[in-house]
Structure 1
């Protein structure tokens, strides 16, 4: 079924690769629980739903596409869901889930067409990199704010937090551990940093000790099928829906390109590459299913690269990863006892990793339109607490400068469509 011999691998190799991928992305279950709980969703239900969608999406991806790609709730869009839409725009979380569902449904429909290739060829690579960097700055800013390292200030908008506070110092410890473990390429770097930071908090009495280690999974009834699709179908929310669609697509294509290059799996822009097509389909279907279960956008995880480094080459790696994630269904007491400042440093590190995409833009050779577009994307996302505003500002200034300089050869239908939607984001 998985054609192991054809891919020059074995069951034992795929098992080891699956366990490695599990360790490196296990952090998403407690982290997503904290992030969506900030939006008002019950953490118990979110933890169970996150584990469930990770299991189902990764299992489906492995069987359907036969690639070692694991899937779960995407970092970045989950932060935008909670802090941008629900807390920022005051949108009910049920409506926000409706937005996720609609964007996922559109992705499903577009996954069976050549739209992905049209998008990839329409939008300049430098702007795609700027979007990734902007999301990185956005979630890093959120992480710093949640840890208390950055606080609001009526005179300067933001200022440095109180570093004599024990919770802030706990966040500093978690941040240093996360950066250190990741830089040494330790398997499960994030979950190890969370575990040590939590242990220090419990030892010093900063956080409450877990009441237990294992329990039966909590019900997802409070959030499952609670999405409000009708309220999401308004013209004013169209830019938000498009933002979720485009960001998920870029996230997935970027992840698959990076992991696929290492594993020699995908051929970029090849219409006949069925494995890439099927992985995109699995990703889109998972997003739609995730919104029904009560979580934000599901996407392919770059942590799948760790399993590839261990030799994983087929969907059996993803199947083993999914099976290992079953254990997280029973860890709720442990997850709930983790202090917030042991969790939020992960947002900062993931943000830094995404921000490094900006370094791939050669600003010396770039024109003013690209430089201005990239700058506004990166600066607007954290300052306006909105990925939508960042993308919209970037595309608007890019197109305006190109038209002003009469460099229409760099513009195409895709750019004009996104620019029009970007204008709607501000008008509406």
Structure 2
């Protein structure tokens, strides 16, 4: 296990495996959700299930071995919806051509990743902005969980409101949330796994969610979508803006995730951490390129890795564990599908609370940081995008410094982020 430098990172095998399993449970939802979203483009659901799993296994293990960081990866949310509802259904682009767009953006991503540019962006962002990003991601994942459990629901008058607390699913989510808070406050080892296990057994016992009728199933073939991408059609000049959207969104989503999770775990603070960051970026880029070949949209670093980090995960053994565990749904999908989502999502709320606590360390006497923090933390959940929140914050940060005549305090990275925000918001 010296490959993972467990002693140097003050961790052990048991902690890393527990962290990897926790991240896996937190990420499990991506399998059916991604397949459902991409199937709206006309791609077969069963093949998408297998492709999503295969890419999750490959890129998580790749990152664990190559970068030795506890960052698990899978097919990213956001771009999958844009793929189906924007490109295919909205613009009438065949899904094969759309996969070609994904592949080309991945190739560009790889070219960027082999230069110091991406790592430099992360390292030169002011520390208060990094803390704000961590808190913003916490607010974002908590909002996702509250929405998915229907603890909060859409409302035509107020946008969102409280859900029906008499609904059995909502009650299960609230029960799971109480368990997750209790086990976390009491500092139980494996608190998140324990809360999911107890909530699931409770749901099965009282009939809120059915127990699995079978345990084993054969995986579906990826043949209908794998290697079906149409690269030549995607090389059209008219698709260049779409390629840029995929590239920039994937780039800044991962930028936000690595900044937030890295800040929480202190992963990238020294010279060795900088090398690990660069390698994490490279693994992410390779996964993005190969995702188009496999028949899915861009892979990305997952914010749910924060679940494993909170359980003590500090090395690639955690990510490798997560990757291997993703093999299980290939053969035990009925069992994993029987875990009610409302037993899983409450742990994201607790993780969100933990990440939100980074706000206490921000220097609010700095006006630029103060205003930027507001837009980052609210921007991520309110626009349903890590990228939008990050870029809004960068724009405000630069604006306030310009107003105060402190242009020399604006780091080149923040200028680049602000300019990217202008490009994306006003032109793309």
Query: What TM-score bracket applies, with the shorter chain setting the length?
Result: 0.7 to 0.9
- Pick the aligned partner of 2:28 from 30, 40, 43: 30
Q: Report the aligned-residue RMSD.
A: 3.9
8 A contact 2:169–2:208 mirrored in 1 = yes
* Structure 1 equivalent of residue 168 of structure 2: 166
Displacement after TM superposition at 1:276 (Å): 4.8
Task: Name the structure 1 match of 2:142.
Answer: 140
Asked if the contact 2:135/2:357 (under 8 Å) is kept, the reply is: yes
Shift of the 296–102 alpha-carbon distance from structure 1 to 2, 3 Å rule, reads same
- Could you tell me which residue of structure 1 aligns to residue 371 of structure 2? 372
Distance 1:227 1:183 in 2: 49
1:288/1:152 CA distance change after superposition, 3 Å: same
Instruction: Name the structure 2 match of 1:349.
Output: 350
Q: Aligned partners of 1:394, 1:163: CA distance in 2, in Å?
A: 35
1:294-340 alpha-carbon deviations (Å, 9 max, x no partner): 2653327345557866xx87x66765664455334322001222333
Aligned with 1:159: secondary structure?
A: strand
CA contact (8 A) 1:208 1:337 kept: yes
Give the whole-Å Cα distance in 1 for the aligned partners of 2:199 and 2:342. 8
Q: Counterpart of 1:243 in 2: which secondary structure?
A: helix
Look up the match of 2:404.
Answer: 405
Q: Report what 1:155 is aligned to.
A: 157
Instruction: Summarize the Cα distance change of 1:20–1:227 in structure 2 as closer, same or farther, 3 Å threshold.
Output: farther
Distance in 2, matches of 1:413 and 1:4, equals 35
Question: Is contact 1:248–1:297 with CA below 8 Å preserved after alignment?
Answer: no
Gaps of 5+ in 1: none
SS where residue 206 of structure 1 aligns?
Answer: coil
Shift of 1:413: 3.5
- 1:3-62 CA-to-partner distances (Å, cap 9, x unmatched) read 5698769xxx97545532332222045321243245254765555444433432343334
Contact 2:21 2:321 in 1 (8 A): no
Distance change >3 Å, CA 278–CA 381, structure 1 → 2:
closer
Cross-structure match for 1:55: 57
**Counterpart mapping for 1:357-368 below 5 A:** 357-363=358-364, 365-367=365-367
Instruction: Summarize deviations over 1:86-133 as a string: whole Å, max 9, x none.
Output: 69x745595987776566544432332221443135422222322232
TM-fit CA distance, 1:169? 0.8
1:288 lines up with 2:294 in the alignment: no
Q: 2 CA distance for matches of 1:318 and 1:50?
A: 16
Mapped partners of 2:4, 2:377: distance in 1? 45
- Determine the structure 2 residue equivalent to 1:386: 385
Aligned residue for 2:284, secondary structure, equals: helix
Q: Secondary structure at the match of 1:33?
A: helix
Matches within 5 A, 1:184-203: 184-203=186-205
Q: Number of residue pairs matched?
A: 408
Q: CA deviation at 1:405?
A: 1.9
Taking the aligned partners of 1:114 and 1:234, their CA distance within structure 2 comes to 24
SS of aligned partner of 1:403: helix
What are the residue-to-residue correspondences of 1:231-310 with 2, within 5 Å? 233-235=239-241, 238=244, 241-252=247-258, 255=261, 259=265, 268-269=270-271, 274-290=275-291, 292-293=293-294, 294=296, 296-299=298-301, 301-302=305-306, 305=309
Deviation string, structure 1 residues 171-201 (Cα, Å, up to 9, x no partner): 1112222333344444544343333323322
Aligned to 2:92: none
Query: Could you tell me how far apart the structure 2 residues matched to 1:366 and 1:28 are?
Result: 36
1:226 and 1:180, CA in 2 relative to 1: closer, same or farther beyond 3 A?
Answer: farther
Structure 1 range deviating more: 339-348 or 142-151:
339-348
Query: In the alignment, which of 86, 96, 108 is matched to residue 110 of structure 2?
Result: 108
1:382, 1:348 → 2: CA distance? Answer: 13
Q: TM-score normalized by structure 2?
A: 0.78
Change (3 A) 1:260 1:291: farther
The structural deviation recorded for 1:217 is: 2.4
Counterpart of 1:298 in 2: which secondary structure?
Answer: strand
Contact 1:290 1:296 in 2 (8 A): yes
SS of the equivalent of 1:113 reads coil
Alignment TM-score, normalising by the size of structure 1? 0.78
Residues in 1 aligned to 2:339 and 2:375: alpha-carbon distance in whole angstroms: 36
State the Cα distance separating 1:408 from its structure 2 match.
0.8
Unaligned runs of at least 5 residues, structure 2: 90-94
2:394 match: secondary structure: helix
